[in-house]
Amino acid sequence: MRGHEQLLADIRKRIPEVAPQEAFALQACGAALIDVREQDEISDGTAAGAMTLSRAFLELRIEALVPDLDRPILVMCASGLRSLLAADNLARLGYTSVRSVSGGFVRWKAERLPIESREVLDATARDRYSRHLRVPEIGESGQLKLARSKVLIVGAGGLGSPAAFYLAAAGVGTIGLVDDDLVERSNLQRQILHTDARVGTPKIVSGRLTLEALNPDVHVIGHQTRLTKDNVEEIFEGYDVVVDGSDNFPTRYLINDACVKTGIPNVYGAVMRFEGQASVFWPSRPNHRGPCYRCLFPEPPSASNSPSCAEAGVVGVLPGIVGLLQANEAIKVLLNIGEPLTGRVLSFDALQGSFSEFRFAPDPACPHCSKGRQFPGYTDYEQFCAVQA
C-alpha cells in the first residue's frame, strides 16, 4: 500500500465517515457543516447552511467559527479525501465529535440535497484584497459586504480626502462625495484627493478621478451641491453610513438631524490646529442606543470659540489622522465588528502625540433623538447657528 493510501486508511480508523443524507440530518440537529474547498470551487455552489473555510486556513480560523469543542462537526470537500485529512487535524485540535462527509459535495449534489449559490470574489479582487482575506473578522464574506456597501462623505476636503481614499482602497463599493467647491492651491497641504494640476476643478470631479484610478471597481457618485434641509434626505437615501467631513456648524447640525431622522450612522470628525476628534453618533444603533451630536453640543459655540481652519490654521497631517479614524469607524459599522465610538469622543493631540477619550450618554431630553420624541423638523441652519453664536 502506497504512503498516501496508508495514511487515509489510518485516518479512517479514527475519523467516522457519513453519507450526505446522514450529514444532512446531523446538520439539522445542530452539527456544524464546514466546506473546506477553495474559493474557486465554491463558485459552483455549496451545501445549504455550510460554513466555508478553505483548507489552507482551517486550523487558524476554526475556533472563530466553532468555539465549542464539543459541537459536532461535519467536514466536506469535493470528493471526501481532503475532508478526511481536515477532520483528522480538527480532532487533533481537541474537537471531540468530527466526521467526514463521504463523497463530498459531488455526492451531496448528486443526491439532490439542498445547495445554495455563493457570491465569490474574482481572481483580481482576491489579489487586491488578499490582506483583508487573511483577517478573520473580514474574510471573503466581509469583503463582499464592503463591495455591496454605500458610504456618503460630506466634504471632499481635509477629512473627506483620507476617509474616501482608504474606503475606496478597502473596497467599499459605492462612495458618494458631497461638495460644491473648486480645488484651490491652499487645499493641497492636506486634501490628498487633489493635485496641483486640478486647481480650479470641482472637488467631486477631482475626487472621482483619484478614487477610480486607485480602485476601478469603486463606483463614485458626485453630488456637486451644498447640503441643505431641502436636499439632504434625497442625497442621503440609499447610503449605509454618512462620514461627516464638513468644516462648519450649520452643516454638522444638518447632518446630525438628517441622520437621526433616517437612522443612518453618522461618523463624525473635526480638526483645528494640532487637535482633532472623532466619534460615531448613532441613536438608532440596534441593541445599544447611542447619543447624537446634539446630545453633546445642543447649541453652537460662540464665533470667538469656533474659528474656522482658514482662520486658525491646521497642521496638514492632522486631518489625515482623523480622517483615517473616520474610515476605520465606517468599516467597523459596515461589517458590524469591534466597538464603534458611540457614546465616546476620541481626541488626538498632535503636539503631544497622545490620544484621550471621554464618554457621554444620550441626553434623555434631547429634542431630536430622545425616545418617544417626534422629529421636530429641520431649521434654517445658517440662521440657527448665527443666532446661537
- Name the residues annotated as catalytic: 309
Q: For 284, phi and psi rounded to 5 degrees?
A: -95, 15
Q: For 194, phi and psi rounded to 5 degrees?
A: -115, 160
| Inter-residue contact 347 to 325 (CB < 8 Å) | no
Cell numbers representing residue 91 in the block: 480532532
Beta bridge partners of 76: 35
What is the rounded CA–CA span in Å between residue 60 and residue 66? 12
What is the rounded CA–CA span in Å between residue 251 and residue 265? 16
Q: Is 364 exposed, middle or buried (CB count within 10 Å of its CB: 0-12, 13-18, 19+)?
A: exposed
Within 10 angstroms of residue 43's Cβ, the number of other Cβ atoms is 15
| Inter-residue contact 253 to 295 (CB < 8 Å) | no
Cell numbers representing residue 256 in the block: 446630525
What is the rounded CA–CA span in Å between residue 53 and residue 88? 16
Q: For 361, phi and psi rounded to 5 degrees?
A: -100, 160
Strands 115-116 and 46-47: antiparallel
Cell numbers representing residue 44 in the block: 459552483
| Inter-residue contact 197 to 215 (CB < 8 Å) | no
Closest CA to 267 of 289, 248, 287, 252: 252
| Inter-residue contact 264 to 239 (CB < 8 Å) | yes
Within 10 angstroms of residue 361's Cβ, the number of other Cβ atoms is 10
Map grid coordinates 503631544 to a residue: 352
Cell numbers representing residue 200 in the block: 480650479
